[in-house]
Structure 1
Amino acid sequence: METKIGITTENRATVVMILCRLLADEYVLSVKTRNAHWNVEGNDFYNKHLFFEQQYARLDEIVDSVAERIRTLGHYAPGTLKSFLDLTHLSETKSHENSSIGFINELLSDHESITIYLRENIDRPASELKDYGSSDFLTSLLETHEKMAWMLRAHVK
């Protein structure tokens, strides 16, 4: 059945491309955070193990909400590892040992990258494409990533 929500088919497709790239980034970041949770080592293991668990749990909620926003706009969300790797801006390459600081710096960089992507794409859905809901949705995700980045950044000061 056709989605009739007051946004043209073309505009919805454009917004969905922004959301699909975001979904891929969120999924890759969730996997990387889960990796940190599983593999962190050091004298701060227990605290960082719990911290990373809280972070990936929040990211899993975000992944679901982005996919549901795509479905709300009448499109299918990408859902394969290949599609996520093709769409993501992030690298899945690990560039450090399994220390908490190494994981934190890498995850912080990814949160900041997503924050920049969100900031670059917040206005277009509302101003050009008449999709105020997606613009508001992206704004709320921006605030979430800014806070998650702050929490990571606080560990390396």
Structure 2
Amino acid sequence: MITVAILGVILGLAVPAMGDFVVRQKVSGQASELMLALTFARSEAVKLNREIAVLPATNAAAGWADGWCVGPADSMANCLSANRLRSFQTRSGVAVNSNFLQTGANRLIFQRDGTCGSCVSRDFKITSAKLKTASTDARCIDINRQGRPSIRPVTRDAACS
């Protein structure tokens, strides 16, 4: 009986911590996947000597929450296009927000030299409502004028800018 009681106490402490760990890993993994997409688009633009776009899966109010895709800027109207190079999905319980859609631009375009003029002063925030408020487990992804994305930790409710 003592062993069962000790096991119950240990499980009572471990289960909530495991839930927090899973949420943090989802947010971190989603941020890494978005970084992969941005880096992939930049490298393909240079490699193919062609403008490459990253755009949300849906151009509706959902924005980036439904995922995104990468493909040629001149021949890919949306993520359903046969010309897309790669598609990415979002994880459940994770929010991907960006000010790209708020300003009317629905795509990032990497130029042939890897730069991204349309990316400056815009960012992505990856977070979850299940993250603890004070922790710095949410992520912001910024893209500089040279087209290089960078990632930084922020608190759940902080703005990226």
Instruction: Name the TM-score class by shorter chain.
Output: 0.3 to 0.5
Q: Which of 1 and 2 has higher RCO (CA within 8 Å, sep 6+)?
A: 1
Structure with the largest fraction of helix: 1
- State which structure, 1 or 2, has the greater radius of gyration over its C-alpha atoms: 2
Q: Structure 1 length normalisation: TM-score?
A: 0.38
Q: Structure 2 length normalisation: TM-score?
A: 0.37
